[in-house]
Structure 1
């Protein structure tokens, strides 16, 4: 009989779904007793309710672009003792999600659940918590609840897609946590998670990302010189960050380099960038792209990445040995990703005095500075995350086969 794995994701930013696809890709190459593992990605918010999905997913996107400080305030409030870990299970949203997931588990009967977003894992933890609570009913109410919660919630794995923790991720019912680095493991241990539950496999990326064409071919196709220092400016899948203002700062730097700008799915931003390039005097060769599926090629062909520090963007830059300068971020997890990168010496952060212009000039004038950043990157990057997660799933499934 085949084994089934559900991967619970959500479309709040691109990273959760990309991590889910990377894990699915690897799991589908595995088998138990010669039978392939079935693997399905569930967009959790869409499963619950399309309206809710639009409110939460688009709400995240809009707040990231237009009101990042407000988003950061909500993020920090949810980390306070007023809303502490393990206490998200009883709110209306997670209870509503739990009802939907109960039906999913009844129909799908998965053997393992992997979560790349905290919301579905909170809801599933709600089911598991109540399942355990009513295992021995003592009254009619408990008997009813035992019948309602009479579902098998299988082992659950949470994959943290940032280089930090948040109280929403931490639930007693989670069996394993996958984190990006040993520093993140220590953060979870500090929050009371058992050390043996935490695996420092890294954040998963798809295998196709790890291969790329040669730099000369890629830059030539973009109308750029393979021999000139290349800076990539971007701001995530929906173009968040002060990209237009940052581009002007780059154009005004009196050094010889070329620029790639990626605006993602934000067509309005691309139009504004094109207008700014036409009106602002400069001597730089600039290539402007919208959404692209060639990030594996582009990141392998540049010298410096100027961006906001999303979890997957950060991971991809680390895997391609690309030093980062971070002039903007969404307060919350991205700010803490930047803390991680800075503490590891893998990225430079701008300040009021240490501007993008100052930092980039030093990197251009002294290439050894770039080499230092690259050495630090090599010391923290982690390959084979997806493979290690898949092997952990196999271990869980094999253990489940053994007689109790």
Structure 2
């Protein structure tokens, strides 16, 4: 049998979708060094206008009109109205996509975002394309743009999400509860004290990890200023992402507590090991990483739509608490620091909900489907060559 050929699709390199794709890719290469893995940003196979329109509209809405995004997200009426437009756009871009498939010749395709999953699903439907397609969800609730008859298997983060698929008519055997694929580093042991010392932190003091996404969004200045007034000995590690304005602001400040601002880093798994509490927006990847590290989460300022759904799930499971407003972050964190028993309960819930091996399980599923596709293709080829 030939080496496996696997196509991974996501959108935008600064997204959780891309991080999930990278986690799957790294795991595939570790488990099967002979496999050929091609990971692509699906936006590169659309027109520049469509790519710009989707990206600009999304970021503009979540920053300036989040109530509009909340209305549009997972709205059945909106979904029905844009369905025909989506189909036309997919047909329009089918030529570029066909070239990609002919070049890669994948045995299996996995999509970590709904847009490329829909593109491939429609291509399979309209052109009788039979390569297996896997939809890998990176949030704790599926919106309507995930549902397609031609997706062979869905990888989902929880039993609750699986039930949502079943309610929508998807057969149970097509939905696997593997969790959200995270970097294999999050399953590796870390020397907590050594990491703390490398950052100039006291390993014996509570450490608050504040994250605002790759762009450093989320009113981090207000959050840090508020937490710096906590009356307990504590220390803060703040991830600024690529936000240079924030870095300049931090350099000009004088804090009461030890505050360590960091730019973009690949050491989140080590920082989470050091942290006592995570203060963050509830992105699907960040949430899954925190669960794997059994790190209690204080949710702040969730984006309407996917992050709001993530927050509801975590709160319902006792794995997080939410600050009602930015002004309440300090009090929420203080309440947790004063209640070690609640922190311990949250850690236990994290351990119960975590799927640290999601990337491994997903990779093994891709291997099985790739092998099946190869066997089927070879069998059909033999039948074609057989004499009449």
The 8 Å contact of residues 154 and 175 in structure 2, kept in 1 or not, is answered as yes
The runs of at least 4 aligned residues of structure 1 exceeding 6 Å deviation read none
Query: Matches of residues 75-86 of structure 1 in structure 2 within 5 Å?
Result: 75-76=73-74, 79-84=75-80
* Deviations 1:217-259 (CA, angstroms, capped at 9, x unpaired): 2122212211100001111111121211112221222222111
Answer yes or no: is 1:46 the counterpart of 2:44: yes
Match of 1:37 in 2: 35
Unmatched segments (≥5 aa) in structure 2: 381-388
* Deviations 1:347-370 (CA, angstroms, capped at 9, x unpaired): 001225992222212211121111
Match of 2:384 in 1: none
Match of 1:25 in 2: 26
Unmatched segments (≥5 aa) in structure 1: 133-151
Mapped partners of 2:248, 2:62: distance in 1 = 20
Query: Matches of residues 295-314 of structure 1 in structure 2 within 5 Å?
Result: 295-314=268-287
The 8 Å contact of residues 317 and 323 in structure 1, kept in 2 or not, is answered as yes
Answer yes or no: is 1:105 the counterpart of 2:101: yes
Name the SS of the counterpart of 2:274 in structure 1. coil
Name the SS of the counterpart of 1:87 in structure 2. helix
The 8 Å contact of residues 234 and 308 in structure 1, kept in 2 or not, is answered as yes
Matched pairs, number: 376
* Deviations 1:21-72 (CA, angstroms, capped at 9, x unpaired): 11112223455xxx92211101110233455445534554454445444433
TM-score by length of 1: 0.86
Name the SS of the counterpart of 1:355 in structure 2. helix
Match of 2:296 in 1: 323
Mapped partners of 1:157, 1:127: distance in 2 = 14
Mapped partners of 2:7, 2:151: distance in 1 = 15
Q: 1:13 offset after TM fit, Å?
A: 4.3
Match of 1:225 in 2: 202
Name the SS of the counterpart of 1:263 in structure 2. strand
TM-score by length of 2: 0.89
The 8 Å contact of residues 2 and 38 in structure 1, kept in 2 or not, is answered as yes
Answer yes or no: is 1:241 the counterpart of 2:241: no
Mapped partners of 1:56, 1:168: distance in 2 = 14
When residues 81 and 164 of structure 1 are mapped into structure 2, their CA distance, relative to the original with a 3 A threshold, is same
The 8 Å contact of residues 319 and 347 in structure 2, kept in 1 or not, is answered as yes
Mapped partners of 2:256, 2:157: distance in 1 = 40
The 8 Å contact of residues 72 and 78 in structure 2, kept in 1 or not, is answered as no
Match of 1:165 in 2: 142
Name the SS of the counterpart of 2:241 in structure 1. coil
The 8 Å contact of residues 234 and 262 in structure 1, kept in 2 or not, is answered as yes
Query: Matches of residues 307-386 of structure 1 in structure 2 within 5 Å?
Result: 307-351=280-324, 355-386=328-359
